[in-house]
Structure 1
Amino acid sequence: MTDATGKVAAPTLRSIGMAGRYRGLIILGLAALVGIAAGIVVTAMSWATQHLHMLLFGISDGGRLSAQTSLATTWLALVPAAGGVLMALSVVLSRRFRTRPPVDPIEANALHGGRMSTRESLLVAGQTMISSGFGASVGLEAGYTQLAASIGSRLATLSGLRRNEIRTLVGCGAAGAIAAAFGAPLTGAFYGFELIIGVYSIALLGPIMVAALAASLTAAALGAAQTTIHLGVIPQLGAWDAIPFVLLGLLGGGAAIAVMRLVVLVERGFAWTRIPSAVRPVIGGLLVGGIALLTPQALSSGHGALDLQMASDTALLTMVSLFALKLLASAISIGSGFRGGLFFASLFLGALLGRAVALTIAAAGLPFSLDPNLAMLVGMASMAVGVVGGPMTMTFLVLEVTGDLAISAAVLAASIAASVLVRETFGFSFSTWRLHLRGESIRSAHDVGRLRNLTVRSMMRPDVKTVRAGTTIEAFREAYPLGSTERVVALDQAGRYVGIVLVADAYARRVGSPDAAELQIDSLLKFTDFVLVPGQSAEQAATRFEQSHSEELAVVQSADNHAVVGLLTEAHLLRRYAEELDKSRQDLTGET
């Protein structure tokens, strides 16, 4: 088979007839391939970052950078600044080859039908490894999901899949990345449902779970360092024990909002200083290196520091100080331009918050108490829910990495409390908040792009019947007999829109005076102040129809240029809008 240029086209599901009852099986196979790719991505990126830590900071094989109690030498505090130099170079070079910010999986699924750029994603993954590898206080999860999701998008596009199927494979890539990173398939699956696709349905369960399982097994087989948490004995919990954890969840949600606000304040602070954006990562690296002199536990994602805190009895003041330093290091890292996310940083900060609350309750001599280890887990889930989003994702994460089902009620209660607080008072997760700062209004990965793409340009009819202003009614009748059309667009001598003439009005006009032949259509013009432009959305067009009380409006080239390019009827607009809504419903329910 050849395409329009005469080249051999790549086989797709449509071109080879893979549809109907076999299509679901093909999607499952593609989901498994995406999951395997995600497992390889996580293994390769984590291996490369770990070896950067060994090379740059001199840690032992299998050790964790953030598990150190002090830097081997003060000169190592300059390593994050060196990473800032590399980040600056990558930013300068990337500006020569791209003109837009990279599209992440949430934005891709919400606005672009799941289409992502592999080149942009490779750049994000590389910058994330530089940032975390040189000690900036960010995690690799953003790089994992970006690259794995782009692989899913690319494979789906090459296979000729439909819009909803491309979005599904993007979700499979991200789900596989999280599942591989933590060895937690259920966590990865719900990450895909809640954060990347924006909805759960039976139709999505098969592909997402297949990808998550394939990725987790692949990463385990390749020897990836997957996160586990080892707990001591957790006391049995009663129904009333959930109340303190709900309060801890609210506290974690508030802390999550503070983290996101602080990142923005740091960014605005750098902007206020007018320091060139390419120089900011270097300064941010120097500041993070200074924090590392106080505690290396603030470096990188914090996996080793979390293990260290779980196994130690840190004093309350030390715990609070570590929380503040890690929070500051993460905000400086992201705010200065390092690439990465707050996924694991929010887990670590939440764990510190939970234990600090438990120690505070014990020191205050209150009539109730919280087990410090359990408080760490609940705080970890609640703060991560606020930053990342997805209460079920974080609940399953805690359950799978601990293997303790008894704590599920406390973790779920706190996660829901944090989620409700952040949604009602702030409205965004960290990912959607960053998009909001760029001018986007999306709050999840739900496919709003389908309706946004429904513009006046895509719906208008280009064949426009026109007449010159000043034409007599008699001449108009001769040109447009009754029944030939309903409406005619009137133009001035320069070809600009001046109004619409209803043919019925021209024939309803009584002409009985001696100068009847001289009566002009100008007296019949309607909707002179109401037009549409091609770039308007369906919602904006519907508002114009409501304001004008017209059944059809002219489409002009722009607000400043009233050259007529088409016509749009209200009936066609409403029909197309209903069709797109029905397609979205079919995507949610898995109908064909």
Structure 2
Amino acid sequence: MTAETSPAGTRVRRIARGVPHRVQLYSRLIFRKLLASRVRDSEVALLVIAVLIGAVVSAVTCLTGEALVLIRIALFGSTEAVHLSSGEGIDPIRLIAVPIVGSLIYGFVAWGERRLRGRDIIDPIEANALYGGKMSLRDSISLALMTLFSAGIGASVGMEAAYTQAGSGLASRVGQALRFRRQDLRVLVGCGAAAAISAAFNAPLAGSFYAFELVIGAYSLTALAPVGMAAVTAAVVGRSFFGLAPLIVIPDQMPPGNVDFLYFAATGIAAALIGVIAMRTVTGFESILQQWRLPRGLRPFVGGVVLGGLAFAFPPVLGSGHGGIEVTITEATPFMLLLGLLAAKLVASAVSVGSGLRGGLFSSSLYIGALLGALIGQIAQQIDPILSTESITFTLVGMGAVGAAIVGAPVTMILLVLELTASYSITIGVIVAVLLASFGVRQWFGYSFSTWRFHQRGLKLKGAHDVGWIQELTAETLMQRDMVFVKSSDSLEAVKAQHPAGETGQLFVLDDDGGYRGVIDVATLHLAPPPTGGTASRVGDLLPLKQPVLARKTPIRTILKLFEESELETLAVVDSTVTRYVLGYCTESYVLRRYNQELERRRSEELGHSDLYGPAEER
């Protein structure tokens, strides 16, 4: 008898086979216990979950960054490929070949992945604005992997989109499993994004305000503790277990003088122009590819060819730009080379994103800004040579200004520079440039890069403010069903006899085929004169035209607008505008009351007082 056929071996195999079932059973039991203990009603529980999310997201972010390093070393054949944008120590043939061949393979992989997925991926901003924080973890992982692919082959994009997508997707999945309320789920999505940025840049303050400005869309006291603790936890975990270090080591600088702020103001205005150009170039390149009618799977290859050509002349355009920022800060770069790099990096980033290579412009915008700041710093030195002691300050000011112009998160960029430099005096200069850059983009363009992408897709979003509840309040959810029907062919006298004058309410008039004709008050019916040769004799004669109707998915704002235009107090909800079969009806007074209740409820949640305007209503 062998060990495998012995009774003990049989028992071990049975136990081993039962382990997955027991794990699944215990997991369900834990979730039920958590739900039974009303976890979603506890702010302490939300804080604890935010801390756990921060730790997990930090580990995922750091491990993904390590994976990117290994991929680049394998593809470009050098340890110098860790920071591609440094432009040093890499075989020129690989600099050109890897983006071109890689983008060709990427195109086919992305085409197949999209076919399998069959839907657009919802990012954290869109999820919080329209869907109450609900995201697909599977889609988020898919986007993160495709971003890792494109960044690995040298696309001029950053990994921040992958980090925040994965972190927010994980947080959303946890919140949905625990059945968190809409507002708390939105906060958890912000926690995931904050932790990702914090771990990526070793900057918990910047990570927190990235969540407030871009993902949650507002700063609130209820979100402060969870988001802040998630970001701090992510930074601590990254420093403790993954050796997270400052992104850039900044040498000491002379504090800027009063006149320098004029240059910083000019930097802010220039940054706004650069930001608008970058965003326009992305959509312009997309339009060109659409006009060429290239298959979606071949578009990244076109971007890869352009990227490879740019890399031949300017190797630092590859990658996100972290290495390039360090080179720009620590080394003196000739003016014309800076100018060429600025133009090449703008085109490379726009081509990468516009051709369909996954990734964001967070890090790329920082590098573009660093190049712009260094250029303006050299111009300033020609005017006043003493400013040569502040060259790094100009670079940092430009970095923050262009980052704010493109990303659309001014406070985040200010705090990022503050955490990088620990210099209050330099940060004051950054504030001036960032504020002017943000103001300029808002005046001349009106969108950040993320909201501009939504606009291109037909989503009229200006940020992550929660407007999804407006779309969820539809005619179907607001309608009442206590209808009384009559036929348009029924005689007035018969209907009057059936519905006495003292009876309050309305009658819904249907055509002979069952389609909706209109609604009429019982009082109006009895005020109609007796039928004669020239007056109405049937109910339908009192409604010469068919009244407007509501489709079942009509949102509440459209309903209110239709009430105003039609000057009716009641509108029927129908299955379709063709058959017009009545499902229910909405009254203007009830719709207005529900609209005001929801507005008050959202405001109460933002202020952290769920019963400020009355008892909180669970959803």
TM, length-normalised to structure 2: 0.90
Does residue 588 of structure 1 match 2:609?
A: no
Aligned to 2:119: 100
Aligned to 2:500: 481
C-alpha distance in 2, partners of 1:267/1:111?
A: 25
Asked if the contact 2:39–2:178 (Cα under 8 Å) also holds between the matched residues in 1, the reply is no
Question: Match of 1:541, as an amino acid?
Answer: I
Aligned to 1:265: 284
Relative distance call for 1:183 and 1:524 in structure 2 (3 A) is: same
Aligned to 2:163: 144
Aligned to 1:17: 38
Does residue 493 of structure 1 match 2:512?
A: yes
C-alpha distance in 2, partners of 1:381/1:474?
A: 78
Asked if the contact 1:468–1:492 (Cα under 8 Å) also holds between the matched residues in 2, the reply is yes
Question: Match of 1:169, as an amino acid?
Answer: L
C-alpha distance in 1, partners of 2:246/2:144?
A: 20
C-alpha distance in 1, partners of 2:517/2:485?
A: 11
Runs of 5+ unmatched residues, structure 2 = 1-27, 611-619
Does residue 82 of structure 1 match 2:101?
A: yes
Aligned with residue 456 of structure 1, among 466, 475, 491:
475
Deviations 1:325-359 (A, max 9, x none): 11111111111111000000000000100110121
SS of residue paired to 1:498? strand
Asked if the contact 1:499–1:526 (Cα under 8 Å) also holds between the matched residues in 2, the reply is no
Relative distance call for 1:226 and 1:473 in structure 2 (3 A) is: farther
Asked if the contact 2:418–2:427 (Cα under 8 Å) also holds between the matched residues in 1, the reply is yes
Report 1:176-325 matches (<5 A). Answer: 176-223=195-242, 226-325=245-344
SS of residue paired to 1:96? helix
C-alpha distance in 2, partners of 1:486/1:554?
A: 14
Deviation at 1:399, TM superposition (A): 0.5
Aligned with residue 358 of structure 1, among 372, 377, 398:
377
SS of residue paired to 2:508? strand
C-alpha distance in 1, partners of 2:358/2:594?
A: 41
Aligned to 2:20: none
Deviation at 1:36, TM superposition (A): 0.8
TM, length-normalised to structure 1: 0.94
SS of residue paired to 2:572? strand
Asked if the contact 2:489–2:512 (Cα under 8 Å) also holds between the matched residues in 1, the reply is no
SS of residue paired to 1:11? helix
Question: Match of 2:561, as an amino acid?
Answer: T
C-alpha distance in 2, partners of 1:368/1:223?
A: 39
Relative distance call for 1:380 and 1:360 in structure 2 (3 A) is: same
C-alpha distance in 1, partners of 2:94/2:426?
A: 43
Relative distance call for 1:297 and 1:134 in structure 2 (3 A) is: same
Moved more, 454-463 or 26-35: 454-463
Does residue 419 of structure 1 match 2:434?
A: no
Aligned with residue 559 of structure 1, among 563, 577, 593:
577
C-alpha distance in 1, partners of 2:167/2:358?
A: 16
Does residue 380 of structure 1 match 2:394?
A: no
Asked if the contact 2:61–2:163 (Cα under 8 Å) also holds between the matched residues in 1, the reply is yes
Question: Match of 1:496, as an amino acid?
Answer: G
C-alpha distance in 2, partners of 1:450/1:94?
A: 31
Question: Match of 1:82, as an amino acid?
Answer: V
Relative distance call for 1:237 and 1:582 in structure 2 (3 A) is: same
Deviations 1:221-243 (A, max 9, x none): 23255552233332223445323
Relative distance call for 1:509 and 1:12 in structure 2 (3 A) is: farther
Report 1:115-130 matches (<5 A). Answer: 115-130=134-149
SS of residue paired to 1:278? helix
C-alpha distance in 2, partners of 1:526/1:576?
A: 32
Question: Match of 2:127, as an amino acid?
Answer: A
C-alpha distance in 2, partners of 1:139/1:560?
A: 49
Report 1:47-58 matches (<5 A). Answer: 47-58=66-77
Question: Match of 1:16, as an amino acid?
Answer: S
C-alpha distance in 1, partners of 2:187/2:33?
A: 17
C-alpha distance in 1, partners of 2:455/2:590?
A: 32
Aligned to 2:452: 433
Aligned to 1:502: 521
Aligned to 2:555: 537
Asked if the contact 1:42–1:224 (Cα under 8 Å) also holds between the matched residues in 2, the reply is no
Aligned to 1:4: none
Deviations 1:33-92 (A, max 9, x none): 110111011111100001111111122279422223363241441111232133223222
Asked if the contact 1:142–1:341 (Cα under 8 Å) also holds between the matched residues in 2, the reply is yes
Deviation at 1:169, TM superposition (A): 0.4
Deviation at 1:522, TM superposition (A): 2.7
Does residue 66 of structure 1 match 2:85?
A: yes
Question: Match of 1:198, as an amino acid?
Answer: G
Question: Match of 1:72, as an amino acid?
Answer: D
Report 1:335-350 matches (<5 A). Answer: 335-350=354-369
Asked if the contact 1:71–1:292 (Cα under 8 Å) also holds between the matched residues in 2, the reply is no
Moved more, 70-79 or 149-158: 70-79
Relative distance call for 1:61 and 1:269 in structure 2 (3 A) is: closer
Aligned to 1:114: 133
Asked if the contact 1:234–1:374 (Cα under 8 Å) also holds between the matched residues in 2, the reply is yes
Moved more, 108-117 or 301-310: 301-310
Asked if the contact 1:105–1:170 (Cα under 8 Å) also holds between the matched residues in 2, the reply is yes
Aligned with residue 522 of structure 1, among 510, 518, 540:
540
Moved more, 39-48 or 274-283: 274-283
Moved more, 53-62 or 575-584: 53-62
Q: Which has the higher contact order (CA 8 A, sep 6+)?
A: 1
Asked if the contact 1:106–1:196 (Cα under 8 Å) also holds between the matched residues in 2, the reply is yes
Asked if the contact 2:137–2:169 (Cα under 8 Å) also holds between the matched residues in 1, the reply is yes
C-alpha distance in 2, partners of 1:536/1:135?
A: 46
Asked if the contact 1:184–1:397 (Cα under 8 Å) also holds between the matched residues in 2, the reply is yes
RMSD between aligned residues: 2.3
Relative distance call for 1:132 and 1:62 in structure 2 (3 A) is: closer
Relative distance call for 1:478 and 1:289 in structure 2 (3 A) is: same
C-alpha distance in 2, partners of 1:58/1:569?
A: 70
Report 1:160-171 matches (<5 A). Answer: 160-171=179-190
C-alpha distance in 1, partners of 2:347/2:423?
A: 32
Moved more, 292-301 or 164-173: 292-301
Runs of 5+ unmatched residues, structure 1 = 1-6
Deviations 1:256-302 (A, max 9, x none): 11100001111111112222110111221122122212222111111
Deviation at 1:514, TM superposition (A): 11
Moved more, 79-88 or 63-72: 63-72
Aligned to 1:3: none
SS of residue paired to 1:554? strand
C-alpha distance in 1, partners of 2:425/2:407?
A: 24
Aligned to 2:587: 569
C-alpha distance in 1, partners of 2:558/2:48?
A: 42
Aligned with residue 566 of structure 2, among 529, 543, 548:
548
SS of residue paired to 1:371? helix
SS of residue paired to 1:532? strand
Relative distance call for 1:513 and 1:67 in structure 2 (3 A) is: closer
C-alpha distance in 2, partners of 1:83/1:483?
A: 79
C-alpha distance in 2, partners of 1:79/1:513?
A: 89
Deviation at 1:413, TM superposition (A): 1.4
Question: Match of 1:588, as an amino acid?
Answer: E
Relative distance call for 1:284 and 1:61 in structure 2 (3 A) is: closer
Deviations 1:188-237 (A, max 9, x none): 00001011000001111100011001111112223255552233332223
Does residue 175 of structure 1 match 2:184?
A: no
Asked if the contact 2:256–2:390 (Cα under 8 Å) also holds between the matched residues in 1, the reply is no
SS of residue paired to 2:585? strand
